[in-house]
Amino acid sequence: MGKFSTYRYLELKDDDTSSSHINVRRSLKQPRKFKKVFIFLIVLAACGTYFLGLFTGQTQWFDGLAKSLGYESVYHHAVIIDAGSSGSRVLAYKFRVPFTVFGQANLDLVDEYFEESKPGLSSYVDDPKKGADTIVQLIKKAEFLTPLEKRRSTPLIVRATAGLRLLPADKAKQLVQEVADTIAKLGYDVGPNGVEIMDGSDEGIFIWYTVNLLHNLIGGETMAALDLGGGSTQITFQLRNEDMKMYPAADQYVVPAGDNITLYTHSYLNLGLLAARHGVFRMEAGDNDTNEFVSVCVDPIVQKEKWTYGNKQYIISGAPRPDGMKRESVYKRCHAIVSQYVERTLDFKPKRAPAGSVAAMSFFYEVAADAGLIDVMTGGQVSVSAYRSAARRACSASNVEQPWACVDLVYMVTLLHDAYKIRDEELISLFKKVNGHEVSWALGLAYTTVMNKITAAPAA
């Protein structure tokens, strides 16, 4: 889809809502007759600054006042399908346009609906009709959030990610066309590009939008966003002017976020968690196309464990370990092979860690929750050193219920520390939900799509 498609979604007008400041600088002497005038001017200036701040900031206070005086909100809806490699998800959104006086209208997220089904769309490569039906069933579950009379004007967008990017082009195209033909009959606004394989850069930019929208950071000090799917992973963060020369120009995008800012985003295919796990196992087998793997990253107690990846079933066994092998040695042996895979798969290695605070989602969250590093419901903050400690424990534990814990945790450390240059003690915030809303690139896509629609309406 490329850079053009990203700009198509992000053609928002600049938001000219910079705060106004009133500075009163006077040289008044101390005679009493001037004292009351001086106090009056200070109060006037303070009040002026306060109310200008209300107007330019479009605060909830001012919007609430408008509603109490009879302002009726305008609502917009959007339905997004995330057709990922490990499953498909529907995310339906209801947005409200708050009352504005100056500047461009914004959007408040009022409600959302989330539902997931497995396996992913790519699993139906040989049965496109059945794959399309799984998408339809998800859309139907979300119908209640969009009023029937608004369905024709509600964008319905399907974006497939790394699962379809890894398929042969003709097979992927057949799946996309079948889904497009099927959902066109559902009564939503499905544009000519309503069903597509998403470019990795779009995936990164939209998850960055989502994280920063949900934390109300757009236009301020933003967070870097790390997303880890099954087939690919994305890193996205705001670039400082002095750092732009350190990153490829093809990975830099100017996007509206208060003022226009420059983002660096890169998507690494075959470095999603499941793809990396398969890649490590296969590399240990000398890159042979076999369905049986023996791995040093799997405990020897695990033998002939079945695992399915890319519609193919594999048999995994743990490699023998010398008697009395210490925990650190087990970890180092696995880290060496994982590092080798990551090094040969990275097509660009950042020279420094992302600027600012870091947020991580998807498998970063799930693996940490499985390891007991965060609460599975609320998330939390984790350091690289915490991932490493958990990896050392997992690599020397005979845990048949979590046979891939060692390789997955070692991969987290390798990706975060060795590839992304994140320091051992730096805290990474792990999110699945923020204020009850799913942290998904789908929100960023829905938000920018609706904003483009609002912006284009006066011209039409």
Using the predicted structure, report yes or no on whether residue 51 has a pLDDT greater than 80: no
Residues 330 and 193 in one domain: no
Average pLDDT, whole number, for the chain? 85
Q: Is residue 457 part of a domain?
A: no
Confidence of residue 456 (pLDDT cuts 50, 70, 90): confident
Confidence of residue 108 (pLDDT cuts 50, 70, 90): confident
Tell me the average pLDDT across 143-148.
96
**Is residue 190 a contact partner of residue 300, using CB atoms and an 8 Å limit?**
no
Is 455 annotated to bind a ligand? Reply is no
Residue 12 has what pLDDT? 37
Give the DSSP H or E segment for 444: helix 441-459
Output 425 or 47, whichever has higher pLDDT.
425
Residue 58 has what pLDDT? 46
Confidence of residue 132 (pLDDT cuts 50, 70, 90): very high
Confidence of residue 36 (pLDDT cuts 50, 70, 90): low
Residue 222 has what pLDDT? 94
Tell me the average pLDDT across 270-279.
97
Residue type, 437: H
Confidence of residue 71 (pLDDT cuts 50, 70, 90): low
Is 231 annotated to bind a ligand? Reply is yes
Output 332 or 460, whichever has higher pLDDT.
332
Using the predicted structure, report yes or no on whether residue 44 has a pLDDT greater than 60: no
Confidence of residue 324 (pLDDT cuts 50, 70, 90): confident
Q: Is residue 377 part of a domain?
A: yes
Residues 85 and 38 in one domain: no
What does the buried/exposed string (b/e) look like for 207-223 if buried means 16 or more CB atoms within 10 Å of the residue's CB? bbbbbbbbbebbeeebb
Residue 133 has what pLDDT? 97
Residues 228 and 341 in one domain: yes
Output 101 or 246, whichever has higher pLDDT.
246
Residue 2 has what pLDDT? 39
Residues 375 and 253 in one domain: yes
What SS3 string covers 287-355? Answer: CCCCCEEEECCCCCCCCCEEEEECCEEEEEEECCCCCCCCHHHHHHHHHHHHHHHHHHHCCCCCCCCCC
Is the C-alpha dihedral spanning 366, 369, 375, 379 positive or negative?
A: negative
Using the predicted structure, report yes or no on whether residue 400 has a pLDDT greater than 60: yes
Residues 52 and 154 in one domain: no
Residues 182 and 315 in one domain: no
Is the C-alpha dihedral spanning 295, 298, 304, 307 positive or negative?
A: negative
Residue 134 backbone class (left: φ over 0; alpha: ψ -120 to 50; beta: rest): alpha
Q: Is residue 268 part of a domain?
A: yes
Q: Which of 198, 229, 263 is the last residue of a domain?
A: 198
Q: Is residue 392 part of a domain?
A: yes
Residue 97 has what pLDDT? 83
Question: Where residue 341 sits, what CATH number does that domain have?
Answer: 3.30.420.150
Residue 63 has what pLDDT? 52
Tell me the average pLDDT across 364-375.
97
Q: How far is CA 51 from the centre of its chain?
A: 36
Residue 16 has what pLDDT? 38
Instruction: State the total domains in the chain.
Output: 3
Confidence of residue 13 (pLDDT cuts 50, 70, 90): very low
**Is residue 113 a contact partner of residue 145, using CB atoms and an 8 Å limit?**
yes
Least confident window among 9-23, 59-73, 302-316, 401-415: 9-23
**Is residue 149 a contact partner of residue 181, using CB atoms and an 8 Å limit?**
no
Q: Is residue 63 part of a domain?
A: no
Using the predicted structure, report yes or no on whether residue 211 has a pLDDT greater than 80: yes
Confidence of residue 38 (pLDDT cuts 50, 70, 90): very low
pTM of the model: 0.80
In whole angstroms, what is the distance from residue 363 CA to residue 186 CA?
32
Least confident window among 62-71, 228-237, 288-297, 443-452: 62-71
Least confident window among 28-37, 67-76, 119-128: 28-37
Residues 35 and 154 in one domain: no
Residues 149 and 240 in one domain: no
Confidence of residue 218 (pLDDT cuts 50, 70, 90): confident
Residues 255 and 159 in one domain: no
> In which domain, by residue range, is 29 found?
18-57
What does the buried/exposed string (b/e) look like for 167-184 if buried means 16 or more CB atoms within 10 Å of the residue's CB? beeeebebbbebbbebbe
Least confident window among 94-103, 203-212, 306-315: 94-103
Is 220 annotated to bind a ligand? Reply is no
Residues 176 and 255 in one domain: no
**Which residues 6+ apart lie within 8 Å of 13 measured at CB?**
104, 256, 455
Confidence of residue 49 (pLDDT cuts 50, 70, 90): very low
Output 99 or 202, whichever has higher pLDDT.
202
Q: Is residue 403 part of a domain?
A: yes
Pairing of the two strands 232-238 and 224-228 = antiparallel
Using the predicted structure, report yes or no on whether residue 6 has a pLDDT greater than 80: no
Residues 188 and 303 in one domain: no
* Catalytic positions: 203
Is 27 annotated to bind a ligand? Reply is no
Using the predicted structure, report yes or no on whether residue 3 has a pLDDT greater than 90: no
Whole-number percent of the chain with pLDDT over 70: 82
Residue 135 has what pLDDT? 97
pLDDT tens column, 262-274? 999 999 999 999 9
Q: Is residue 381 part of a domain?
A: yes
Output 344 or 256, whichever has higher pLDDT.
344
Residues 48 and 177 in one domain: no
Using the predicted structure, report yes or no on whether residue 437 has a pLDDT greater than 70: yes
In whole angstroms, what is the distance from residue 220 CA to residue 449 CA?
22
Question: Where residue 167 sits, what CATH number does that domain have?
Answer: 3.30.420.40
Q: Is residue 8 part of a domain?
A: no
Residue 163 has what pLDDT? 87
Is 18 annotated to bind a ligand? Reply is no
Whole-number percent of the chain with pLDDT over 90: 69
Is the C-alpha dihedral spanning 7, 11, 14, 17 positive or negative?
A: negative
